[in-house]
Amino acid sequence: MRKNSSNYLLRSTIGYLNAEVGDLNNLKVAQSSEFSIRGDRVLWQVIPFQDGQGIDWLIVVVVPASDFTQQIDNNTRATFLLCLLSLGIAIVIGNFTANRIARPLLRLCDASRAIADGDLDQDVEVNNIEELHVLAQSFNQMSDQLQKADRLKTDFLSNISHELKTPLVSILGFTKVIDKKFDDVAAPLSGVEDKKIQRSIKQIKENLGIVTSESSASHRYYYQMFWISLT
């Protein structure tokens, strides 16, 4: 089978050379070129050989291009597949790395928004990446400090509510008793005291209103209830 193939190749080459070069017996210098057989490239070279002792030969070298381009094509195909594989691996690793970095940052952003909206009970999961680990720890410390400050503020306002409400209510009750028992005599005095008490309550509301305006929206309800309890 290989012999037949080679003979066919040689016959085709000799026929091509006779048609293109002409009489090969007159060939004095080496020539080379290429042609196609059944769509396949064939490289050829003809070299005259004379030894001065009567030998007058033509050395014909015929090589199908596929004999040496096949390995190149295989290498090109393998390189292309390796490039695709490398690209796929790079995409997977890139997505994994991006998600590993982006998710903690997104959680940190969500927790920051929640704190800005007044929800101080936030805790961010600590990440293995050193920079994110430090950032998450700092955020959690900040959140803890805010919660402690909020509890202190709540306790402080609760104490203020108790300390202010108790004497004011007692005074109001006392003035009402005076009004009932001494309508004619104490009415003017009790009226003055009522006005003073109401003025004090108003001032307290205004002062607490300043605190409320500086507080988060989630705690305003508490201050509003505190105002109502004073009235």
Cβ-contact 17, 44 below 8 angstroms: yes
CB neighbourhood size of 27 (10 A): 15
Among 156, 147, 172, which residue's Cα sits nearest to residue 222?
Answer: 156
Q: Where are the domains of the chain?
A: 2-64, 148-230
pLDDT at 68 over 90: no
Q: What gap in Å lies between CA 110 and CA 104, rounded to an integer?
A: 10
Q: Which tens digit of pLDDT belongs to each residue from 124-171?
A: 666 666 666 777 777 777 777 777 887 887 777 777 766 666 676 666
Among 30-34, 153-157, 197-201, the least confident range: 197-201
Split at pLDDT 50, 70, 90, the class of 54 is confident
Cβ-contact 127, 104 below 8 angstroms: yes
Among 82-86, 107-111, 184-188, the least confident range: 184-188
| 205 exposure class (CB count in 10 Å sphere: 0-12, 13-18, 19+) | middle
Q: 219 or 118: which carries more pLDDT confidence?
A: 118
Please give the angle made by the CA atoms of 169, 222 and 166, to the nearest 5 degrees.
15
Which pLDDT score, from 0 to 100, does residue 225 have?
Answer: 43
